[in-house]
Amino acid sequence: MRFLFPLRQTIRSLTSFLLIAILCGCTGHLIHHWQETSRDYTYIDFSRNPSPYKFSGIVGGEHSTFVKVLGYHGDRFSVAMQQEGDASFNVYGEGVTLRRTGEITQVMTEATDALFTIEISAMTYGDYRLTITKQ
């Protein structure tokens, strides 16, 4: 009977790990965090899921949306946004080189690793569709 307790504990631990892995994004490539201070943060890692990240949302007033993307040396990303209203975006971060052409920003990671930020805001309100593609 003593051997059943470690077996039960192992099964519980494995079940908990699988549930957390499924709920926390092993099927996707993001972590989402919302704050009551009108700030919305999303963290993206393309190492588990190389498909483009696409998100539609509304922004404006005091609300701002921040998307933080993890990149490694030599990674290239394309950031594009379509909008209705006066929504706009700005890309910045340390360890990356940026080149903006029209409504598309090309990002190249030069550091060993870098977390660059895409900030989306609007003076009044705007609908937007953000697409981030790892090239």
Q: In the chain, what are the domains?
A: 28-134 (2.60.120.380)
Q: Stretch 77-101: mean pLDDT, rounded?
A: 91
Q: Stretch 64-70: mean pLDDT, rounded?
A: 89
Q: How would you classify residue 102: left for phi > 0, otherwise alpha for psi between -120 and 50, otherwise beta?
A: left
What are the structure tokens assigned to 49, written together? Answer: 């899921």
In this predicted structure, the answer to whether residue 106 has a pLDDT above a threshold of 70 is yes
What is the C-alpha to C-alpha distance for residues 119 and 57, in angstroms, rounded to an integer? 13
CB atoms within 10 A of CB 10: 10
Share of the chain above pLDDT 70, in %: 73
- β-pair partners for 43: 31, 68
The helix (H) or strand (E) run that includes residue 41 is strand 39-45
Q: Stretch 72-76: mean pLDDT, rounded?
A: 93
Q: Stretch 42-69: mean pLDDT, rounded?
A: 86
Q: How many Å separate Cα 19 from the centre of its chain? A: 21
Note the pLDDT of residue 116: 94
Whether the model pTM is above 0.85: no
